[in-house]
Amino acid sequence: MRWVDGSSIEAQVLCPSADLDPVSILAQPPSLPFSNDSLAFIDDFSSSLSKSAAARRHPGIMALAFWMRRANLNRIRSGFAAQYAEHLLIGRGLAFHIAPANVETLWVYSLFLSLLAGNTNIVRVSSNATDELSVLVGLLDEVLARHPGVRRRLLVVRYGHDDSLTAAFSAVCDLRVIWGGDDTVNKIRRIPLPPHASEVAFPGKFSVAVIDAAVWNAERDHARTARAFCLDAFTFNQQGCSSPKLVYWLGDTVARQAARESFWKAVEAAAPSVHDYSFGEAEAMTRFVSVCSAAIAAEGAIARTDAASKLYTTLSLSTLGDIVRDANVGHGMFYEYGWTSLDPLLGWFGASDQTVTSYGVSREKWRTALEQAVPRGICRVVPFGSALEFFPVWDGYDLLRAFCREVVIAV
């Protein structure tokens, strides 16, 4: 594509498909949040997605369509309006989003929230050509043709591992949004931004499932809860930031022991319903290596249990301090720890912990516990089955708010 300085750069423009003049994109002024044309566009895109047979093949795209349906957007909009009624918020300008490789829909959430915030956008999507990506880009292009106002505010590009392109896009943006692991964030942070620009980064995270053993033991529908856990844990091969990698058992020893046994049995029965879990030869080897790494790191006791089907391996620890978060690379490996209260967990939470998927612990209990412990990490507590659901408040950022600039008028 031709770049603003007249040079030609090696980025493939996926969307819009024709007549691109990057200068016209860069020249777009920011707008107020929730402009009518951005809402109309997203609405149109959402209904196109729902109608597309190709899109229906992908549960991730269906979740996206569900999230961007009009009722939900209205809820987000009125929440935003209520919260910031007295504030003047304006889009920051040009947002440059760097999307992760393998959560194929995440870039659309990032892009649309930024569009709603009033920004113009450049998105760098992964160079992995997946079916999800081509479906999304194809439909996006089709719908944009009907929305010329939005069409000038959005550019989806793809390129290989080329820092000079990331530098070119970074040099002109007002906001950089980095989704990826720690290495990605570190690498991109070395690439300069204009002094006034801001950055929101989403590095690697670790997540935990908490189960109240007594509640589980009294539960009548084990299958449903186990299915929800499987969805959280096994989607993306347990490699999402929000995929639980530690199962924390709350309760006394007797209750915990009974619960553990029936829980993992129910999980093994429910797991085949998760279609996005592939455990093959390479994954078995990688899990084996992780198990060894975890054992090397564990100073206290450690005990391994394998599912008969090899679906998962659990490592029971005698202290949470023995967990090396990076050593668990997913593929069905779970640390386990149990205690009579949440205290050890609250004390252990660190800066890179993100989501608690909670079963049997009430909202009030979490609120009180977190207020008392004030941990460095943990940004969400959600019920089983919601770990991978996208929330507009992510990793502690209200994304819409972070994508806006606030003008204080104090006269």
Q: Does 280 bind other proteins (CB under 8 A)?
A: yes
Residue 303 tokens, joined? 């005990």
Residue pair 155/16 in contact (Cβ under 8 Å)? The answer is yes
Answer for which of 16, 100, 251, 360 binds other proteins (CB under 8 A) is 100
- Contact letters for other proteins, residues 4-33 (x by CB under 8 A): ------------------------------
Residue 244 tokens, joined? 């639980």
- Whichever of 22 and 330 has its CB closer to other proteins, that residue is 330
Task: For residues 245 and 260, give the distance between their C-alpha atoms in angstroms, rounded to a whole number.
Answer: 15
Q: How far is the CB of 297 from other proteins (least distance, A)?
A: 8
User: According to CB under 8 A, which residues from 173 to 202 bind other proteins?
Assistant: 179-184, 187-188, 202
- Whichever of 22 and 180 has its CB closer to other proteins, that residue is 180
Q: Cα separations (Å) of 109 from 150, 160, 189, 218?
A: 16, 22, 22, 38
Q: Which stretch binds other proteins (CB under 8 A): 37-45, 46-54, 140-148, 294-302?
A: 294-302
Answer for which of 132, 283, 336, 353 binds other proteins (CB under 8 A) is 283
Count of CB atoms within 10 A of residue 360's CB?
21
User: According to CB under 8 A, which residues from 202 to 241 bind other proteins?
Assistant: 202, 204-205, 236-241
Q: How far is the CB of 282 from other proteins (least distance, A)?
A: 4
Residue 152 tokens, joined? 């000038």
User: 3-class SS at 409?
Assistant: coil
Q: Does 406 bind other proteins (CB under 8 A)?
A: no
Answer for which of 130, 217, 286, 352 binds other proteins (CB under 8 A) is 286
Task: For residues 224 and 92, give the distance between their C-alpha atoms in angstroms, rounded to a whole number.
Answer: 44
- Whichever of 329 and 373 has its CB closer to other proteins, that residue is 329
Sheet of strand 380-383: strand arrangement = 302-306, 313-317, 333-339, 244-250, 206-212, 353-359, 380-383
Q: Which of 156, 152, 149, 198 is nearest to 26 (CA)?
A: 152
Q: Does 294 bind other proteins (CB under 8 A)?
A: yes
User: 3-class SS at 354?
Assistant: strand
Residue pair 258/217 in contact (Cβ under 8 Å)? The answer is yes
Task: For residues 200 and 181, give the distance between their C-alpha atoms in angstroms, rounded to a whole number.
Answer: 13
User: What is the bridge-based pairing of β-strands 154-158 and 333-339?
Assistant: unpaired
User: According to CB under 8 A, which residues from 31 to 70 bind other proteins?
Assistant: none
Q: How far is the CB of 180 from other proteins (least distance, A)?
A: 5
- 385 backbone φψ class: left, alpha, beta (φ>0; ψ -120 to 50): left
Can you say how many angstroms the Cα of residue 397 is from the centroid of all Cα atoms in its chain?
Answer: 12
User: According to CB under 8 A, which residues from 302 to 321 bind other proteins?
Assistant: 302-304, 306, 310, 315
Q: How far is the CB of 100 from other proteins (least distance, A)?
A: 5
- Whichever of 73 and 241 has its CB closer to other proteins, that residue is 241
Q: How far is the CB of 313 from other proteins (least distance, A)?
A: 9
Task: For residues 319 and 336, give the distance between their C-alpha atoms in angstroms, rounded to a whole number.
Answer: 10
Q: How far is the CB of 178 from other proteins (least distance, A)?
A: 8
- Give the total of residues touching other proteins (CB under 8 A): 55
Task: For residues 36 and 5, give the distance between their C-alpha atoms in angstroms, rounded to a whole number.
Answer: 32
- Whichever of 35 and 105 has its CB closer to other proteins, that residue is 105
Answer for which of 81, 254, 285, 351 binds other proteins (CB under 8 A) is 285
- The contacts of residue 64 (CB under 8 Å, 6+ apart) are 49, 105, 108, 109, 390
User: According to CB under 8 A, which residues from 320 to 359 bind other proteins?
Assistant: 329-331
- Contact letters for other proteins, residues 352-391 (x by CB under 8 A): ----------------------------------------
User: According to CB under 8 A, which residues from 111 to 170 bind other proteins?
Assistant: 126, 160-161
Instruction: Point out which residues pair with 201 in neighbouring strands.
Output: 178
Q: Cα separations (Å) of 63 from 28, 228, 270, 395?
A: 31, 15, 21, 20
Binding site for other proteins (CB under 8 A): 98-103, 126, 160-161, 179-184, 187-188, 202, 204-205, 236-241, 243, 278-286, 288-289, 291-296, 298, 301-304, 306, 310, 315, 329-331
